[in-house]
Amino acid sequence: MPFSAQIYRERRRRLAEKTREGIAIIPTASEQIRSRDSDFPFRPVSYFYYLTGFAEPEAVLVIIAGEHERSILFCLKRDIKEEQWFGHRLGLEGAKKVSGVDEVYPISSLDKEMPWLLMDQRVVYLPGETSEWVERIKNWFVDIQIAMGKFRLHDQGDYRNAYDLLDEMRLIKQPEEISLLRQAAQISAYALNTAMRACSPGVAEYELEAVLAHKFRRENSVYAFQPIVAGGKNACILHYIENNCLLKNGDLVLMDIGCELDCYASDISRTFPVNGKFSREQKIIYKIVLAAQEAAIKRVKPGNNFFDLHRMAVRIITAGLIKHGLLTGELERLIKDKAYMRFFMHSLGHCVGLDTHDSGSKEIRDGQQVLRPGMVLTVEPGIYIQPDDATVDPKWRGIGIRIEDTVLVTDKGCEILTAAAPKKIKDIEFLMRQ
């Protein structure tokens, strides 16, 4: 529990204020089997955790809006025998203390209590667009009608998406969230610096990943996502996660990594030479990507449209590719025809928060949402030249470069949260000599 119960109470109050009426049902996840009798490490559903700070499986939050606003949490009871095998459980009292909810019930009583909580409620806010919960709620409405002797066959609820409202709330980070995101970003940046210093020809991709794992765990953090450690042509695979090849002299290695601290994520990418020295061709492509990234970051400020930043990065990258013969033709025509997408096929960035690709990512990418203070997002242009691309000179083939920082939108501009990891060529080469 990174924050006080009062913060979670205030978030639930804000959600109830947005709904104005009805009832919201927000569940977390159950444990998932990894193999046979072994489970994956548990992580709560971000929407649920945002409203409760409660990180145990098999729980459901219910918020009733209106004049008699209240919040109810259903969760697992304490079980001494279970805890002897699998660890301490907060139980009902502990869950109430952490989350600050008004009432707590055992999760086993959900089907018994929910029909009565739904009584007189027509508007029901669901966890996303999920038919599973619609069916459960319909059954609970039927239970009410049977109990009251008023059985009627009709659709008993006005179903809405609670996550849409929560996405609006999660888009702007609160000061305590920003503090955690800043810490997570710094851990990731310093871990990446250590990996750069550990890099040399003959080292395996998984050995650099091991450096990250060590640094993350020393700071009591975990992976926010499976790290990308992509040497040579592997860097041209956007989500390469095998991390099982040897790093070769003369190649680049692209690392896209991020730790998660108390469920808050970070995201950073750096590309650097395996032998510590960029080749001429690598420098040329790297400088194009860096110019696009730095120009975009300068324009991360309130009121600007992130999609305009993406278009600016596209223009810089396309112009650079034309200059060095990777694209031929007139700049405006190539941009209109999206010829650049052979080399830069993803968006400029996404929001970061409880999820690596956080609430609001689609809206900022589509230009539906202008930048506002408190947003946290990535800026990550790239160029990827496929190793089998016969349309370009062989000297360019297999070069894959992405440069990514996590930035916080401030009142007048932005703060680069991952700035501790160098990205200028001379600074990278200097660090790798250490």
DSSP 229-296: EEEGGGGGSTT-----SB--TT-EEEEEE-EEETTEE--EEEEEETTS---HHHHHHHHHHHHHHHHH
Residue 153, pLDDT > 50, answer no
Give tens-digit pLDDT for 371-411.
999 999 999 999 999 999 999 999 999 999 999 999 999 99
3-state SS assignment for residue 300: coil
- From the list 288, 297, 313, the residue with the least C-alpha distance to 385 is 288
Task: Tell how strand 222-223 and strand 259-261 pair up.
Answer: antiparallel
Residue 411, C-beta contacts closer than 8 angstroms, at least 6 positions apart? 302, 373
Distance CA 83, CA 94 (A): 14
Give tens-digit pLDDT for 161-194.
999 999 999 999 999 999 999 999 999 999 999 9
Catalytic: 357?
A: yes
Q: What is the mean pLDDT of the chain?
A: 95
Q: How far is CA 98 from the centre of its chain?
A: 24
Residue 214, pLDDT > 50, answer yes
Give tens-digit pLDDT for 242-256.
999 999 999 999 999
Residue 137's pLDDT band (boundaries 50, 70, 90)? confident
Place of tokens 């310093």: 190
Give the pLDDT of residue 60. Answer: 98
Residue 257, pLDDT > 90, answer yes
Q: Which pTM does this prediction carry?
A: 0.94
Residue 279, pLDDT > 90, answer yes
Residue 156's pLDDT band (boundaries 50, 70, 90)? low
Least confident stretch, 41-45, 145-149, 225-229, 344-348: 145-149
- From the list 72, 68, 61, 73, the residue with the least C-alpha distance to 21 is 68
Least confident stretch, 27-31, 119-123, 295-299: 119-123
Given the residues 357, 389, 397, 415, the one annotated as active site: 357
Instruction: Give the count of alpha carbons within 13 A of 209, CB side only.
Output: 21
Percent above pLDDT 90 for the chain: 86
Catalytic: 37?
A: yes
Give the pLDDT of residue 144. Answer: 81
| Count of all residues that appear for the chain in the document | 434
* Domain 5-170: CATH architecture, name and number where available: 3-Layer(aba) Sandwich (3.40)
Given the residues 205, 209, 256, 405, the one annotated as active site: 256
Distance CA 121, CA 243 (A): 52
- Cβ-contact 332, 415 below 8 angstroms: no
Given the residues 89, 182, 350, 365, the one annotated as active site: 350
Residue 130, pLDDT > 80, answer no
3-state SS assignment for residue 297: helix
Give the pLDDT of residue 307. Answer: 95
Average pLDDT over residues 348-364: 94
Given the residues 20, 37, 152, 154, the one annotated as active site: 37
Catalytic: 164?
A: no
Q: Distances from the Cα of 326 to the Cαs of 252, 321, 383, 385, 395, in angstroms?
A: 19, 5, 11, 9, 11
Give the pLDDT of residue 154. Answer: 47
Give the chain's count of helices (H) and strands (E).
Answer: 14, 19
Distance CA 64, CA 47 (A): 17
Least confident stretch, 67-81, 118-132, 213-227, 256-270: 118-132
Distance CA 332, CA 57 (A): 53
Given the residues 56, 205, 267, 355, the one annotated as active site: 267
- Cβ-contact 172, 375 below 8 angstroms: yes
Catalytic: 267?
A: yes
Place of tokens 């919960």: 133
Name residue 323's amino acid.
K
Given the residues 167, 177, 355, 380, the one annotated as active site: 380
Give 129's DSSP letter: S
Catalytic: 214?
A: no
Residue 418's pLDDT band (boundaries 50, 70, 90)? very high
Instruction: Give the count of alpha carbons within 13 A of 110, CB side only.
Output: 19
Give the pLDDT of residue 147. Answer: 75
- Cβ-contact 336, 373 below 8 angstroms: no
Residue 46, pLDDT > 90, answer yes
Domain positions in the chain are: 5-170, 175-433
- Cβ-contact 162, 48 below 8 angstroms: no
Give the pLDDT of residue 74. Answer: 99
CATH number among 3.90.230.10, 2.60.40.10, 3.30.1700.10, 2.40.50.140, domain 175-433: 3.90.230.10
Catalytic: 256?
A: yes
With b for 16 or more beta-carbon neighbours within 10 A and e for fewer, the 167-195 pattern comes to bbbbbebeeebbebbbbbbbbbbebbbeb
Give the pLDDT of residue 151. Answer: 53
Given the residues 154, 239, 333, 433, the one annotated as active site: 239
Residue 129, pLDDT > 90, answer no
Residue 363, pLDDT > 90, answer no
- Cβ-contact 344, 317 below 8 angstroms: yes
Given the residues 264, 310, 384, 405, the one annotated as active site: 384
- From the list 127, 158, 130, 133, the residue with the least C-alpha distance to 50 is 127
Place of tokens 């109430």: 96
